[in-house]
C-alpha cells in the first residue's frame, strides 16, 4: 500500500464514502501482505514506498530481460510507478510485452511507467557541462520527473564557455535544488555553488581523456570543492542525484530560511559581557 492509497482510505472514512469496517479490512489486508515478495532471483521490497516515499527502483545492469520484465510486472501489479535504470532496448521490449504502458527513454537508458505521486514543492535545476554528459544528466532528470518534480534543464553550459552559464543565472537562483553534471576536471558544480544559495548535487561523469581516469579526476575535484553547499554522488550516478534532489524538493519549508536575503535581514545577536 502506498502513502497515497492510505490517505485515500482515511479520507473516504472521513467523508462518509466508506464505513469503518471496510476501511479496517483493507488496512489489515495490506498489513498481512509480506513486506517483500520472493521471486526466487529477486526479493521485491513492496514496503519501500511506505518507508521512503517511492517504491523500489530496478537496476538493469546484470539482469536478464526476462528477469527485468518479471520484476516490472510485479511492481506495476501493486499500483507503483516503475523505474528501470541502465536498461537496453531488449529489456524494454520484454517489459513492454507485460506492461504495455511502459516508456523507454533512450538517452537516459531508462524504462518508466508513471503513476500519481506527491508533487515537489519547487523546481529542480539540472545543469550539464557538455553534450557528452547528457546520458547521465537525463538519467537524473527522468528520475526526478517520475518522482513528481518539475525539472528545468540547462545543457552544455560548462566552464569552457562560462558566458553560457551566466545567461542562466536567474533560472539557477530560482531553483530549490540544483543537480550539476560534469566530466573532465569537474569544475561546473563549484562555479554554480559559488553563485547561488541553494544545495548543489554534483555528479562526476566518466567523460574525459586519459588523466580523467574514468571520472575519478572529476570526483576528487568535486569532493574538494571550496564552494559551500556542494554534495557529491558516485561517478555517472544520475539516478542517485535525481533521487536526492527529489527528496530535498519534497521537504516542507521550515520557519527559518537559509537564503542570503533572509540571513541578511535577521537581527544579529547582542554580545554579552
150-154 and 123-128 beta bridge pairing: parallel
Please state the pTM of the whole predicted model: 0.80
C-alpha to C-alpha distance for 269 and 9, rounded to whole angstroms: 48
In this structure, how many other beta carbons lie within 10 angstroms of the beta carbon of residue 88? 15
pLDDT the model gives residue 266:
47
Decide: 74 and 39 in contact? Cβ < 8 Å.
Answer: yes
Rounded to whole angstroms, the Cα distance separating 1 from 47 reads 7
CATH 3.40.630.20 for domain 123-249, yes or no, is no
Q: Are 128 and 135 in contact (CB under 8 A)?
A: no
Per residue of the chain (273 residues), give pLDDT as tens.
666 777 888 888 898 898 988 888 887 776 666 676 667 777 777 767 767 677 788 999 999 999 999 999 988 888 889 999 999 999 999 999 999 999 999 999 999 999 888 899 999 999 999 999 999 999 999 999 999 999 999 999 999 999 999 999 999 999 999 999 999 999 999 999 999 999 999 999 999 999 999 999 999 999 999 999 999 999 999 999 999 999 999 998 764 455 555 444 444 455 554
Q: CA-to-CA distance for 155 and 130, rounded, in angstroms? A: 7
User: Which three three-digit cell numbers place residue 40?
Assistant: 526466487
pLDDT of amino acid 155: 96
* Residue spans per domain, the chain: 33-113, 123-249
Are 115 and 149 in contact, with CB atoms under 8 Å apart? no
Tell me the three-class secondary structure of 196-260, residue by residue.
CCCCEEEEECCCCCHHHHHHHHHHHHHHCCCCCCEEECCCCCHHHHHHHHHHHHCCCCCCCCCCH
Amino acid at each position: 500500500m502506498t502513502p497515497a492509497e492510505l490517505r485515500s482510505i482515511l479520507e473516504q472514512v472521513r467523508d462518509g464514502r466508506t464505513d469503518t469496517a471496510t476501511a479496517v479490512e483493507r488496512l489489515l489486508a495490506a498489513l498481512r501482505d509480506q513486506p517483500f515478495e520472493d521471486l526466487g532471483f529477486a526479493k521485491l521490497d513492496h514496503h519501500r514506498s511506505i518507508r521512503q516515499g517511492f517504491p523500489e527502483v530496478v537496476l538493469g545492469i546484470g539482469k536478464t530481460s526476462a528477469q527485468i520484465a518479471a520484476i516490472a510486472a510485479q511492481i506495476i501489479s501493486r499500483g507503483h510507478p516503475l523505474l528501470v535504470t541502465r536498461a537496453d532496448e531488449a529489456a524494454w521490449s520484454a517489459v513492454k510485452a507485460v506492461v504495455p504502458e511502459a516508456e523507454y527513454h533512450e538517452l537516459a537508458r531508462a524504462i518508466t511507467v508513471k503513476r500519481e505521486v506527491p508533487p515537489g514543492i519547487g523546481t529542480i535545476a539540472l545543469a550539464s557541462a557538455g553534450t557528452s554528459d547528457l546520458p547521465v544528466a537525463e538519467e537524473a532528470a527522468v528520475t526526478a520527473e517520475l518522482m513528481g518534480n518539475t525539472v528545468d534543464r540547462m545543457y552544455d553550459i560548462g566552464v569552457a564557455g562560462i558566458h553560457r552559464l551566466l545567461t542562466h543565472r536567474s533560472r539557477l537562483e530560482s531553483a530549490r535544488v540544483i543537480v550539476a553534471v560534469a566530466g573532465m576536471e569537474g569544475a561546473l558544480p563549484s562555479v554554480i555553488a559559488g553563485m547561488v544559495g541553494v544545495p548543489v548535487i554534483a555528479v562526476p561523469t566518466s567523460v574525459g581523456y586519459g588523466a580523467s581516469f574514468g571520472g575519478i579526476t572529476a570526483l576528487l575535484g568535486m569532493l574538494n570543492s571550496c564552494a559551500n553547499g556542494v554534495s557529491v554522488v558516485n561517478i555517472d550516478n544520475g539516478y542517485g542525484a535525481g533521487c536526492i534532489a527529489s527528496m530535498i524538493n519534497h521537504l516542507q519549508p521550515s520557519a527559518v530560511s537559509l537564503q542570503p536575503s533572509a540571513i541578511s535581514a535577521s537581527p544579529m545577536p547582542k554580545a554579552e559581557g
